[in-house]
Amino acid sequence: MAEGMPTLGEMEMRVLRLVWQLQPCTERQVSDLIIAEREVARTTVLKTLQRLEAKQLLERVPDASPVQFRALVEQQSVLPTLVRRFVDDVLGGSADPLVAYFSGSGKLSPKDLTALREIARKLGEPTHE
């Protein structure tokens, strides 16, 4: 799925992230959270769920009433592709601006810092080919 991953808009990505967190979940659960964040119509969220379903990223839970959605792809398999696209398309292929942002933003939690240290440690290990 990673390389064949469809392009996602900002609203689609936000809805998909909520489904990953809440699944299985109803349109109303997702809509209520989105509407609390920004001014959008409930129909916009429903259409976004339907687009994600058409892109084969979500599916309806069989026989659920009211209709519930769940993801057809795991977050861990999608996020690396999205990050790579962001680095390639927005940052021109260099992760330097992203690293600089994180190092100067002050927005990293202790958990984020631990994860970054682990990544840096792995990058520093010699490869055995």
For the ranges 19-28, 72-81, 83-92, 108-117, the maximum mean pLDDT occurs at: 19-28
pTM: 0.69
* Residue 29, both tokens: 């659960």
Residue 34 has pLDDT above 80, yes or no: yes
Q: So what's the pLDDT on residue 2? A: 46
Q: Which alpha helices (H) appear in the chain, and where do they start and end?
A: 10-22, 27-37, 42-54, 75-89, 96-105, 110-124
Q: Do 38 and 80 meet the contact criterion of CB atoms below 8 Å apart?
A: no
Q: What is the dihedral of CA 69, 49, 73, 102, to 10 degrees?
A: -120
Name the average pLDDT for the chain.
84
| Closest to 10 in 3D by CA, of 38, 41, 32 | 38
What b/e readout covers 103-123, taking b as 16+ CB neighbours within 10 angstroms?
eeeeeeeeeeeeeeeeeeeee
4 has pLDDT over 70 = no
Each residue's pLDDT tens digit, 47-99: 999 999 999 999 999 998 999 999 998 887 777 777 787 778 777 888 787 77
Q: Which tops the pLDDT comparison, 28 or 86?
A: 28
User: Rounded to a whole number, what is the distance in angstroms from the first to the last CA of the chain?
Assistant: 27
